[in-house]
């Protein structure tokens, strides 16, 4: 007689549970990272185009970008704008709390700069 081969129902349920949890976590976290990279891209482009502009103009340009892209985590007042040499450096930092289930949430600290540091 040949032995049966395959996956037991308990193993199938366990791996199914693990895959579902990882997929749900990914669906909640990936959009936040996409927003972070949108913010970083906009900060870098605004920094390149900001020669001769005031701090208020830079903040207004960033607020327009935030309005167009429906970003709600950060605004122009949250930017740290400085000058290093002839280049304008725009830095930002914010935290995002992602509720997972019941009273468990995931806290991610995002920070970035137009200088790449």
Any domain includes 5? no
Number of Cβ within 10 Å of residue 114's Cβ equals 22
Any domain includes 6? no
pLDDT tens digits along 41-96 = 999 999 888 877 888 889 999 999 999 988 888 988 889 988 888 888 999 999 99
Any domain includes 109? yes
Instruction: Give the total number of structural domains in the chain.
Output: 1
pLDDT tens digits along 13-37 = 999 999 999 999 999 999 999 999 9
Angle at 49 between CA 45 and CA 52, to 5 degrees: 145
Give the predicted TM-score (pTM) of the model: 0.82
Q: Are 62 and 46 in contact (CB under 8 A)?
A: yes
The predicted structure's pLDDT at residue 31: 94
Number of Cβ within 10 Å of residue 87's Cβ equals 13
pLDDT tens digits along 31-56 = 999 999 999 999 999 988 887 788 88
Any domain includes 10? no
Any domain includes 73? yes
pLDDT class of 2 with cuts at 50, 70, 90? confident
Any domain includes 11? no
Any domain includes 4? no
Distance CA 46, CA 59 (A): 9
Any domain includes 76? yes
- Which residues form the domain of 42? 31-113
Query: Which residues 6+ apart lie within 8 Å of 32 measured at CB?
Result: 96, 98, 108, 110
């Amino acid at each position: 007689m040949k032995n049966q081969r395959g996956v037991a129902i308990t193993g199938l349920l366990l791996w199914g549970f693990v895959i579902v949890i990882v997929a749900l976590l990914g669906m909640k976290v990936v959009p936040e990272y996409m927003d972070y990279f949108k913010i970083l891209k906009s900060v870098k482009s605004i920094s390149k185009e900001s020669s001769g502009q005031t701090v208020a103009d830079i903040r207004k340009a960033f607020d327009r970008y935030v309005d167009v892209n429906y970003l709600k985590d950060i605004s122009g007042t949250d930017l740290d704008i400085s000058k290093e040499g002839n280049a304008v450096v725009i830095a930002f930092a914010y935290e995002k709390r992602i509720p997972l289930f019941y009273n468990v949430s995931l806290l991610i600290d995002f920070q970035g700069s137009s200088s790449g540091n």
